[in-house]
Amino acid sequence: MEEEIKGLLKELGLNGYGVGAYLAPIKEGSMRAGELAALSKVPQPGYTIS
């Protein structure tokens, strides 16, 4: 069933990262942004301090 939902979300225009970010809190519940990024495997920008 999860694969069917992922397919439907992609049909709506979400990419793989969007699908993961949408489904992670539904499956896992409330979480912080860093936890969401880790669970959904959304890449995070690297910050450099000069």
Q: Give the pLDDT score at 36.
A: 87
Q: Give the pLDDT score at 47.
A: 57
Q: With a threshold of 0.75, does the pTM exceed it?
A: no
CA distance 32 to 17: 17
1-50 pLDDT, tens digit each:
889 999 999 999 999 999 999 999 999 999 998 888 888 888 877 755 55
CA distance 25 to 5: 14
